[in-house]
Chains A and B, each alone.
Chain A
Amino acid sequence: MKTLIVFFALLPLGYAYYSLENAIDPIKMLYTTTGVGTITLLLLSLVPSPCQRICALNLLRFRKTLGLLAFVYALLHVSVFIVLDSELDFTTLFEKSLKKPFIYVGAISFLILLSMAFSSTKKRFARFSRYHKAVYVALILALLHSFWAQKVAGAFEYGMIAIGIVLLGERVWNKCRFTMSKRH
C-alpha cells in the first residue's frame, strides 16, 4: 500500500520530466508541479488524524510516507529555485532573494520540513515527535507562499487555503472541546 502511495505521488514528476522539452515556460512548470505537489501532500498528511477522530478509520501509518513525500517535492522545489532560477548565484540569492518575504516564508517552511524529515527515523522520532506539530506552521507558510506566488491568487490557491483552514480548524475545535470537557 505504501509503495502504491509513493508510486502515485511521484507520477506527476514523471509527467513533468516527460513534458519538460515542450513546456512553454519550463522553469515555471517545474515550480508549479513541485509546489502544488508539496502543498497537496502536506494537506493529505494532515488528513489521517481527523479521519480517525471522525470516521474511526486508522490511516495514521501513512502519515510518515505522505510527509516524507511532501518533503521530497519541497526539496525539488527548492532545487529549482537554487539551480535553475538563481543559477547557483549565491550572492544574489542571499543578498536579494532571501530578503523578500515571499521567498523567506517559503524558505522557513522548507527548513521546518527538512528538520522533520531529518528527525523522522524511528529513534529520532521518539525524541522529537512533539516538535512535529511544527508542520502546522510549515503548512500555513507554504500556503502564504503559494498565495504570493501569483500576480493575483486564483481558485486553486483559495481552494487549498480553504482545505487548510478546515484541517487546522478541526484540530483547534477538537482541542477546545477536549479542554472544555475536562473542566466540567
Chain B
Amino acid sequence: MPRRFVFTVIAWICFTGVCLGQTLTFPALTGRVVDEAGLLSPADRAALTVSLAALEATTTDQLVVVTLKSLQGRTIEDYGYQLGRHWKIGQKDKDSGVLLIVAVSERKVRIEVGYGLEGTLTDAETKLIIENLILPRFKIGDFAGGIKAGTAAIIQALGGAASGTVPGPPQAQGRGGPDTNAPVWPGIVLGLAGVGLLVFCSLTPGGGVCRLILQILFLMALSGRSGSSREKPPFSGGGGSFGGGGSSGSW
C-alpha cells in the first residue's frame, strides 16, 4: 500500500510539473491585427489590415500587430519570440516576420524581428521607431495613433509601399501557389511499400491475399489524396522563426 501511495504522489508531482511548465498560452491568430486588449477601432483595424496585406504582397514579409491583455508573468522579450514561433509569422525559408506587440497592463511595447529581417530592420532602428514614434503617443494615451505610426515606420523600413496607397485585393494576394507544407514523405513511403509489396507478390505463389492488400492500399491512397484539400484560413503564418531580434520600450 505505501508503495502505491508513493507512486501516486510522484505521478501527481510529475503531472503538475508538466502543467506548470506549459502555462504560457497564446491568442489565436485571427488576422494580421490581433487586438486582444481592444485598443483599436474597427476602422483602424481594417485600415491596418489593408496596409499589412499590401506589405506582404510587395515584399512577402509578414508583419502582424498584436495587443495583449497580459504577458502571463513573462518578460515581453521572452513572450514575444515564443509568440512569433507559435504563429510561425514570416515566410518559411526566409524567416521574414515582424511582430509589433503591445502589452497594456505591463505598459510594454516590443518590435520582434524574425531571423531573416534582422539585417533590414536592425535593433537600433526598431529602438528609434519605439522611442520616437510609438512611446510619445502611448504616453498621452493615444494607443491607436502610436500603433499606426509604428506600423507605418516598420513598413517603410521593410521597403513596402507608403500607407496611403491602395493595394490590390488584400486577401487574394500572396496566397497563391501550391501548399509546400503538404506531406510528401508519407506518399513516398507508401509508394515504396507498394512497390516492395508488388515485387514480393510477383515472387510468391498464390497472390490472392497480396492483391487484396494492394487494393486496400490503393483505396487508402486515393481517399487520402481527396481528403487533404481543405479550406484555408484567411491569414496564417508562413512558417518563419524568431531568435530574439528587435527591441522593446516602456511607457
Q: Do A and B assemble together? A: no
